[in-house]
Structure 1
Amino acid sequence: MDHLADLKKFATKPINEAAFAGMSKAYALVMSKSDTRYVACSDPAEIERVRENFLKKKLGLTSGDLDGSIKAVCEAMKADRTKSRLTFYYLLAEHHGKLDLFVKA
């Protein structure tokens, strides 16, 4: 799968390729497994996992409309039955202004 091409389908702003490369490296193991490669927006446990493990632990967010941002990305990607976790996480990080966390200095 061409992850950058997938992201380009959903990105509304210019893609931060350095951040995307950092994310690709950080989530290479997750993306290599068929059971973790995609985000299931219809699964409440999956939404909780994204909120707790990505938004709170990885991005360090503690306040704001975390569930609302997840729902917004679900809505933006609704046409795609298989929502790439890498694209999903990139869009969330972009939404919260946290792409710089993935850029290696």
Structure 2
Amino acid sequence: MGRREELIEKYAGDLRNLGIQPDMALLEKATEACGPSIYLADASTVASSDPQEMERVRENFCKKKLGATDEARIDAALKKAVETYGSANRNKHRAVMYYLLAQELGGL
């Protein structure tokens, strides 16, 4: 098993811990959407308390990758993803956040 597959299994475990049975095809696409950032310690997570980071997720993933245009819907999806993952959880993996956003907004 390669490094990417190991990370996907780790992300699937995170989702299972949240009570979500992951759609592995969607999780693989969400992981692919992260690009090489999944291999970098700092870039592989999302700092949901950082407004600039959340703006990057909004612009670069929600709008550009998913094609979402409704600002209120994007805001609601971001809020829901953070709440689902747990706002106190400091290790929000980017691929899992992208998965949760893709589920809420559709796409990938």
TM-score by length of 1: 0.81
Question: Partner of 1:82 in structure 2?
Answer: 91
Aligned length: 98
Query: Relative to structure 1, is the Cα distance of residues 28 and 53 closer, same or farther in structure 2, using a 3 angstrom cutoff?
Result: closer
Does the CA-based 8 Å contact 1:38-1:83 persist in structure 2?
yes
1:42 maps to 49
> Cα deviations across residues 42-78 of structure 1 (Å, max 9, x unaligned)?
1000110110000000000111421121111111112
Calculate the aligned-residue CA RMSD, in Å.
1.7
Alignment partner, residue 32 of structure 1: 39
- RCO greater where, 1 or 2, for CA within 8 Å and sep 6 or more? 1
2:3 maps to: none
Q: Percent of pairs identical after alignment? A: 39
Within 2, Cα distance between the matches of 1:88 and 1:49?
13
Letter in 2 for 1:75: E
Distance 1:86 1:30 in 2: 9
TM-score by length of 2: 0.79
Pick one of 61, 64, 67 that aligns with 2:68. 61
Where do 5+ consecutive residues of structure 2 fail to align? Answer: 1-6
Q: Which has the higher helix share?
A: 2
